[in-house]
Structures are given as structure tokens and as C-alpha cells.
Amino acid sequence: MKYLAFLIAACVAARADDIALLNLRVVEGEGSVYGAGARATRGLTVEITDELARPVAGASVSFMLPESGASGVFTGGSRTEVAITNAEGKASVWGMQWSQTPGTVEIRITALKGAVRAGTISTQYITDKLPAASMVSSGHKRRYLLIAAAVAGAAGAGVVLGSVRTSSAAAPAAIVAPPAVGAPTITIGRP
């Protein structure tokens, strides 16, 4: 009975902000693709929650870039950056200067609050296929494809509607298929 009373007293004495577990989740920037030598135009944001899915404010979050290969440096010139989570449990870094080496960049992320730690790895990609000033994330790719499809569909509908002939006779309208468009060509100098 004394043991049970001690256990209850220990539970009551525990502070409400004691954390037993940290959950670390990348919420923005995962899988972004940058041109070799580009500067990150979008941040990498993580969210830290406790065992009850409550945001953890004031946690230290360390972001570490690889020492060699496809990598980069943070705005201060080092390969490690530390941020503190805000009231929503979020911490961000941005403005990384990527190296000229194409490949997969694995960013090691570690969160610490009191004696409790959590970690994960976020993956970014550096390619020599994009200009250094460009950045494309998977969400942006999908948006651009949808916009291109909508524009192409609207152009096709305009061609079809523009080709409908009207006359006083009740003749059926002729529908003309949209013209096929090939790959664009750029010629510099004389053709």
C-alpha cells in the first residue's frame, strides 16, 4: 500500500511539461531538387511533438549536411545549423548553398529537449540537369504538369471551337483535330 501511495505521489509531482518521447517529422522541403551550385530558395521545416502529439516549443534542432560529395553549407558557412522550435513545435533552415557535385544529399536532423532525443534524415537532390537558379519540388512538378495540361486542353478546345462552321443550312459542323506540335527548336545564327 505504501508503494502505491508513493507511485501516486510521484505521478502527481511530475511536471506537466515533462516529455517522455519526441516525434520528429519533416513537414516542408522533403525531396526538393536543386541545380548544382544553387542556393536553396525554400526552407526545410520540421515539426516536433511529444508522446501525446502536442507541439514541443523550445527544443533544439540540429541540421547536419554531409562532409563530402553532394552537400552544401548553411548561410553561416558551416555544415551544421541549430534552430529552436517555436510555439507550434516547428523549426526551419533555408538558404543553403549547394555544392557543384550532383547526387543525393542526406541531411541528418536531431531534436533535443531535456534528456530526450529524436532523429531523422531528410533527402534533397542536386542535379546538373537544372540551371543553378532553379528548384523543383515534387509538389511544384505536379502543379506545373496540371497547368500545362489545362493550357493544352484549352488551346485544343479553342482550335475545335474556332473551326466550327456556321451556315444558314442545318449542315453538321466539321470538327478539326488540333494541330500536332513538335518539340521547340532554337536556332542561333543563320538557319
Query: What is the rounded average pLDDT of the residues 85-102?
Result: 96
Query: What is the rounded average pLDDT of the residues 84-100?
Result: 96
Find the DSSP H helices in the chain: 2-13, 138-162
Residue 9 in this model has a pLDDT that exceeds 90: no
pLDDT of res. 186: 57
Which domains are present in the chain?
16-136 (2.60.40.10)
Query: What is d(CA 76, CA 177) in angstroms, rounded to the nearest whole number?
Result: 57
| 26, three cell numbers | 519533416
CA–chain centroid gap for 171, Å, is 55
Query: What is d(CA 78, CA 65) in angstroms, rounded to the nearest whole number?
Result: 9
The overall pTM is greater than 0.75: no
Query: What is the rounded average pLDDT of the residues 7-31?
Result: 72
Q: Which residue has the higher pLDDT, 106 or 143?
A: 106
Confidence of residue 74 (pLDDT cuts 50, 70, 90): very high
Confidence of residue 22 (pLDDT cuts 50, 70, 90): very high
Residue 132 in this model has a pLDDT that exceeds 50: yes
Query: What is the rounded average pLDDT of the residues 78-88?
Result: 97
Residue 19 in this model has a pLDDT that exceeds 90: no
pLDDT of res. 18: 79
Query: What is d(CA 104, CA 107) in angstroms, rounded to the nearest whole number?
Result: 10
Phi and psi dihedrals of 113, rounded to 5?
A: -140, 115
